[in-house]
Amino acid sequence: MYDLIIIGAGPAGITASVYAARKRINLLVITNDIGGQAALSGDIENYTGYQFISGPELAQKFEEHMRQYKIPVKENEEVVEVKKQGEKILVKTNKEEYEARSVIIASGKRSRELGVPGEKEFKNKGLTYCATCDGPLFSGKDVAVIGGGNSALDAALQLIKIAKRVYVINNTSGLGGDAIMRSKVEEAENVTILNNSKVTAILGEKMVKAIKINKDGQDETLSLEGVFVEAGLIPNSDFVKDVERNVWGEIKIDSRNQTSNAGIFAAGDVTHISEKQIIIAAGEGSKACLSAFKYLARHNFR
């Protein structure tokens, strides 16, 4: 029986774990990977204390901080169910079952799929969901970034330095996201922005060769060799049924990160907080841990 189980090891989960270790809480971290979306980010210029750092570097700093406290971490383990049973909480994974007196869900989000013909067939065959991971494989090639928000802008800024031509396929009338990032993308000489455009199919043989798009009602085919899907994110919250979620599947929390079920807290991008930023997720992780600590104390678990 753990006092606290933290699900996820991105900025929110790692920060929560550090706070928990410093409070001498008997805890366990369960995660698919270390770093979360932060590890997939490109250049980061808005994390306080670092004027410039890459996503993988910042994720490594987070992990190093967590490892200093010798926190027990179950890696490559996927949580499939969180269920309240009286005053204890059952956490079931694809490998084991664990019990805790409190839980912090910091499982983040995952990439939204396009749902078009050819997407599944060409996944990892020219189609990817991570520019940071796979961008270098497309040096000197024509590629497309699907999306128009910060994630798409980040991917485009990474690919500008690598690819020959970058098409940004955006289904609205103009790019969104951070103004500075947007300006850099719009000013790049090797970028073509296609607004009011929607991908309808991924084409190829063994590898991606082209995409079909519909722009302003007209069908077009673009010859290229790489597709980077940045069409938004879906919260990883399916495994917890007995907490309140909004229409997008984000877990609803109050100002203390408490969910609708006592003892189950949530933090970071998996929640309904209005902004999804690394620094905000980290702060929310610390809040969630402090709230869990007070919960444990009130219930004489500490």
Which residues are known to be catalytic?
130, 133-134
Q: Which of 230, 229, 201 is nearest to 214 (CA)?
A: 201
Cβ atoms of 30 and 93 closer than 8 Å: yes
Residue 147 in 3-state DSSP? coil
Residue type, 14: I
Residue 26 in 3-state DSSP? coil
Q: Which of 267, 265, 294, 118 is nearest to 206 (CA)?
A: 118
Q: Which of 100, 96, 97 is nearest to 87 (CA)?
A: 100
Report how far Cα 220 is from the mean position of its chain's Cα atoms.
31
Cβ atoms of 258 and 252 closer than 8 Å: no
Cα-flanking dihedrals φ and ψ of residue 33, to 5°? -150, 175
Cβ atoms of 40 and 133 closer than 8 Å: yes
Measured between alpha carbons, how far is residue 287 from residues 105, 139, 276, 280, 291 in Å? 13, 42, 16, 11, 6
